[in-house]
Amino acid sequence: AQKITQTQPGMFVQEKEAVTLDCTYDTSDPSYGLFWYKQPSSGEMIFLIYQGSYDQQNATEGRYSLNFQKARKSANLVISASQLGDSAMYFCANGASGNTPLVFGKGTRLSVIA
């Protein structure tokens, strides 16, 4: 069974600084994907970034990058140059093949301070 652990219930970061949100996963599937979503107070889950288990390079999307360490089973999200609009809940999720549902972590609440 898959499991996602996000150990930071809440994080604070100064505007324009970088922040790392932690995510560790546990899966026995050799082929899997790791996703990060942002959920503002409005409720919508916004897809940010994806990393495949066989990808050699860390994924990047604008100010978001994924620090993928396969041996440690970690997939931390790095947000560079934080903005006030980045304040939200952030969820890490793990997808595997074969009709296995996407498994979400409990989330980290990020607060960006001016």
For position 68 contacting another protein by CB under 8 A, the verdict is no
Which positions ≥6 away from 83 have C-beta within 8 Å? 15, 112
What length is written for the chain?
114
Site residues for another protein, window 75-114 (CB under 8 A)? 91, 95-102, 104-107
Site residues for another protein, window 18-57 (CB under 8 A)? 29, 31-33, 35, 37, 42-47, 50, 52-53
CA distances from 34 to 4, 48, 60 (A): 10, 11, 13
- Site residues for another protein per CB under 8 A: 29, 31-33, 35, 37, 42-47, 50, 52-53, 91, 95-102, 104-107
